[in-house]
Amino acid sequence: MTTLITHIRQLVNVREQQELLRGRALAHLLVIDDAFILVEDGIIAEYGPMYELAVKVPQLPKVVLEAGGQFILPAWCDSHTHLVFASTREEEFIDKIRGMSYAEIAAKGGGILNSANKLNAASEDELFNSAWARLEEISKLGTGAVEIKSGYGLTVEGELKMLRV
């Protein structure tokens, strides 16, 4: 399937060459104002400013979407996230800032064992609902693909529970 999206207010982060950016180079965001993008079978085939459309896409596809002055941005790919968990541990972060060691945090009941206990006590429905809410949140913030890791179950049963969720 071929889709053409036209009249994009700004097409963001378009680079002709793939290159690793570091430091100050990250401060320069490349955009094309009043742009189009042509997608063929899920692959970007062509893009550019609207004034180049007739040259770059001489034959319009059947599906043409009018962006109506909206922005098109790339999606983030989060290749390692622990989205399924029962409870946050921000209080431990404060303890770390105050200089406590991980062993001290664990001794007062925190750490991974605390996370595993809370996860194992939670139902699969509770874990699913909280993970779904986090997934919706990161999606709204621009994440388009995510690989969810287990790791907080610490037992075969706990890990399988996370994988079912």
Number of compact structural domains in the chain: 2
Final residue of a domain: which of 74, 104, 131?
A: 74
**pTM for this entry:** 0.61
**Same domain, yes or no, for 69 and 146?**
no
Is the model's pLDDT at 30 over the cut of 90?
A: no
Mean pLDDT, range 110-135, rounded to an integer: 93
**Same domain, yes or no, for 157 and 93?**
yes
Mean pLDDT, range 6-15, rounded to an integer: 89
Other Cβ atoms less than 10 A from the Cβ of 82: the count is 14
Specify which residues 25 forms β-bridges with: none
Q: In terms of residue numbers, what domain contains 41?
A: 2-74
Final residue of a domain: which of 56, 74, 92?
A: 74
**Same domain, yes or no, for 54 and 107?**
no
Vertex 116, ends 111 and 118: CA angle to 5°?
Answer: 100
**Same domain, yes or no, for 85 and 66?**
no
**Same domain, yes or no, for 155 and 88?**
yes
Q: What is the pLDDT of residue 151?
A: 86
Where helices occur in 72-123 by DSSP H, the ranges are: 90-97, 102-107, 111-121
**Same domain, yes or no, for 89 and 13?**
no
Final residue of a domain: which of 18, 44, 74?
A: 74
